[in-house]
Structure 1
Amino acid sequence: MDRPTVGILHPGSMGAAVAACAAANATEVLWCSEGRSSASVARAGQFGLTPVTTLTALLDRCDVVISLCPPAVAEDLAEDVAAAGFDGLYVEANAINPERAIRIAGMLGPAATVVDGGVVGSPPVHGKSPRLYLSGPPVAVTRLEQLFAGTAVRTKGLGPEIGQASALKLAYAAYQKTSRVLAALATGLAREHGVDQELIDIASRRTASYLSEPEYIAKTAARAWRWGPELEEAADMLAAAGLPPEMLRAAASTLARWNDVKDDGELTLTDALKQLVQP
C-alpha cells in the first residue's frame, strides 16, 4: 500500500488528532511550526507529529497535505500553498461553503490534485470516531480512504464533484449547531420563569433528532401559519427576559414562506422545499 508523507495545516484539536490517525498508514506526518503558538507545539508533540520550520519545507517533502484550519483563513492558506508550487494531493477539509471549496481547487489546479473534505463528529480521541466525507477525483478519494483505513477516522466518498463534501458538512452543521443555540435560548427562557427542570423533563421523553424525520417538513409547512405567530410570541418573551430574540424572529420569517399552503394535508416534502425557496 502507498505510504505517503503527510502534512497537516494546522494541528488544532481536530487537525492534530486526524493527522495522528493518518500516521498509521503514512511514512511520516509533518507540521509547520513557523508562527504557531506554544499550545500548537505541545499538541503536535502530544500526537507525535514531526515539526518542520517553514511551509515550503513541509510542502517539498509531502505527498498529501490536509488543510484543517479556521474557516476564515482557508483561502489565504491555499494561496500560500499554491504560490509554493505544491503538486501533490491537497485535502480541503475546512468548514467552508462549496463555492469557496471550488475557488480553492481553482487556485491549486492543475498542478495539485484537490479533494473536498468535511469532518463530521468529534476529534478521534477517547473512543470517538468521526467521519471524513470526501468528494473529488475518484483515484484521489480512494487514496485517502486507504490513508485512513483501520483508524478511528472513517471515510466515505460522496462523488466526483468538488463542493459535495463541504455542502454536506455545512448542511449538518447548520442544523446541529443552531439546535444547540436554540436549546440555550429555550432553557434560558424557561429558567426566567422557574420551569427549566420541567422543560428538561419534557425533552427527555424524546431523544430522536428532528433532522431524521424529513417527512415532518411538509406537516411543518402546513402548520406554519400558526407556528410563525407562536414563535413571534416566544421572541417577545426572550426580549423581555433580556435574551436575544433575533433567531426566533428569523424562524418566524422563514415559516411565513409557507403561509400559502395553510393546512394542506396533501403537501409533499418536495413541494414544501420548493415553496421554501420562493420569496
Structure 2
Amino acid sequence: MAKPTVGILHPGSMGAAVAACATTNAAAVLWCETGRSTASAARAARFGLTPVAELDELLDRSDIVISLCPPAAAEDLAKGVAEHGFSGVYVEANAINPVRTQRIAALLAPAVTVVDGGVVGSPPVGGKTPTLYLSGPADATARIETLFANTAVQAAVLGTEVGKASALKLSYASFQKTSRVLVALAIGMAREHGVDQELIEVASKRTDSYLSEPQYVAKTAARAWRWGPELEEAADALAAAGLPPEMLRAAASTLARWHDVKDDGELTLTDALDRLAHP
C-alpha cells in the first residue's frame, strides 16, 4: 500500500512533535502556513514538516488529517474541513469531551471517516513516548496504527465507538492536571506558615498514585462526613493566605454527595460511584 500524505492542524508543541513521528511512515506531512506564527513555522521546519500556503491545498493533498489544536478551536477547524469537501480519514485528537467529538463526527459524516484520538503523555521528543489512544471504525484505526508504527508515538485502539478515546483522555486529565493544581495549593498554604519543606517530607513517604487505587474511593465516601468539613477549613486557610479556595470548596461539595454513607464499612466501589453520579 502506498504511503499516505498527512495533514496536521495545527503544529503546536504537541501537534508538531506527533506529526514529526508520522513522517516515518508517510509520503509527506503537510501543514498550512496561513495565519500561523513565526514560532509555528520554525517548529514545523525543525520537525521536517512540508509547508503549504492554504488549507484547501492541504486538504486536497492529504489522505489523513490530524487535528491537534487548543480545545476551543476543534469544531471551527472541523467545519472548515467539512466545507472543503475532504473525504479521507480525520483524526480528532483534541482534548475535548466525547459529546463534542461525536458532534464533529456527525458534522463530517458521511464523506469523512472520523477517528477519535486522545494523546496521553508529553510530546514525543527527548525520549518521551506518549500513547495515542484511538477509537472508531476498525479499518481507519488500523491505518493510524500503521502510520505511527515503530515511532515514539504508541498507538492503542480502544474499540470502534467514537468518544471512547476522548473519554479516556479527559478522565486521566481530570486527575493528572487537577492534582498538579492541588500540589500548588497545598505547598502554597504550607509556605505561608513556614512548613513547606516539612510537607514535602511527609509526602515523600508515599509516592503511589491514588488513581491506581480505585478501591480507596469507597473508603473516601465513608469518610466524606469528616473530610468535607476538613476541606472547608483548609479552604478558609487558603483564603486567609490569599490563595484561591474554590477548588477545595468544590471538593467539599463533591464529598457532600456521600453524606448518607457515614462510616459504612460495607460500601463497595460500585456503590460509591453510583451515589456520586446519582446522589
Q: TM-score range by the shorter chain?
A: over 0.9
Return the alpha-carbon distance in structure 1 between the equivalents of residues 246 and 59 of structure 2: 45
Q: 1:35 and 2:35 equivalent?
A: yes
Q: 1:250 and 2:250 equivalent?
A: yes
Output the amino acid matched with 1:96: I
Deviation of 1:210 after TM superposition, in Å, equals: 0.5
Return the alpha-carbon distance in structure 1 between the equivalents of residues 174 and 2 of structure 2: 36
Deviation of 1:133 after TM superposition, in Å, equals: 0.2
Output the amino acid matched with 1:141: T
Return the alpha-carbon distance in structure 2 between the equivalents of residues 147 and 39 of structure 1: 26
Q: Unmatched 5+ residue regions in structure 2?
A: none
Output the amino acid matched with 1:42: A
1:56-112 Cα deviation digits (max 9, x unpaired): 000000000000001001000000000000000000000000000001001111001
Return the alpha-carbon distance in structure 1 between the equivalents of residues 278 and 69 of structure 2: 35
Return the alpha-carbon distance in structure 1 between the equivalents of residues 253 and 104 of structure 2: 34
SS at structure 2 position matched to 1:260? coil
Q: 1:5 and 2:36 equivalent?
A: no
Return the alpha-carbon distance in structure 1 between the equivalents of residues 80 and 7 of structure 2: 14
Output the amino acid matched with 1:187: I
Return the alpha-carbon distance in structure 1 between the equivalents of residues 200 and 51 of structure 2: 47
What is the match of residue 128 of structure 1? 128
Deviation of 1:16 after TM superposition, in Å, equals: 0.3
Return the alpha-carbon distance in structure 1 between the equivalents of residues 112 and 242 of structure 2: 51
Q: 1:94 and 2:94 equivalent?
A: yes
Deviation of 1:277 after TM superposition, in Å, equals: 1.3
Deviation of 1:2 after TM superposition, in Å, equals: 4.3
Return the alpha-carbon distance in structure 2 between the equivalents of residues 107 and 256 of structure 1: 39
SS at structure 2 position matched to 1:8? strand
What is the match of residue 262 of structure 1? 262
Output the amino acid matched with 2:157: G
What is the match of residue 20 of structure 1? 20
What is the match of residue 174 of structure 1? 174
What is the match of residue 188 of structure 1? 188
Return the alpha-carbon distance in structure 2 between the equivalents of residues 55 and 181 of structure 1: 37
Q: How does 1:191-230 map to 2 (within 5 A)?
A: 191-230=191-230
Q: 1:163 and 2:139 equivalent?
A: no
Deviation of 1:3 after TM superposition, in Å, equals: 1.1
1:173-200 Cα deviation digits (max 9, x unpaired): 0100000000000000000000000000
Return closer, same or farther for 1:2/1:261 CA change in 2, 3 Å cut-off.
farther
Return the alpha-carbon distance in structure 2 between the equivalents of residues 110 and 233 of structure 1: 54
Return the alpha-carbon distance in structure 2 between the equivalents of residues 242 and 80 of structure 1: 44
TM-score when scaled to structure 2? 0.99
Return the alpha-carbon distance in structure 2 between the equivalents of residues 141 and 9 of structure 1: 19
What is the match of residue 112 of structure 1? 112
Deviation of 1:206 after TM superposition, in Å, equals: 1.0
SS at structure 1 position matched to 2:124? coil
1:95-130 Cα deviation digits (max 9, x unpaired): 000000001001111001000000000000000000
Deviation of 1:278 after TM superposition, in Å, equals: 2.3
SS at structure 2 position matched to 1:155? strand
Q: Unmatched 5+ residue regions in structure 1?
A: none
SS at structure 2 position matched to 1:25? coil
Output the amino acid matched with 1:165: A
Once superposed, what is the RMSD of the aligned Cα atoms? 0.6
Percent identity, aligned pairs only, is 76
What is the match of residue 138 of structure 1? 138
Return the alpha-carbon distance in structure 1 between the equivalents of residues 16 and 238 of structure 2: 40
Output the amino acid matched with 1:183: V
Deviation of 1:275 after TM superposition, in Å, equals: 0.6
Deviation of 1:205 after TM superposition, in Å, equals: 1.1
Return the alpha-carbon distance in structure 1 between the equivalents of residues 123 and 28 of structure 2: 20
Return the alpha-carbon distance in structure 1 between the equivalents of residues 87 and 63 of structure 2: 8
TM-score when scaled to structure 1? 0.99
Spell out structure 1 runs of 4+ moving beyond 2 A: none
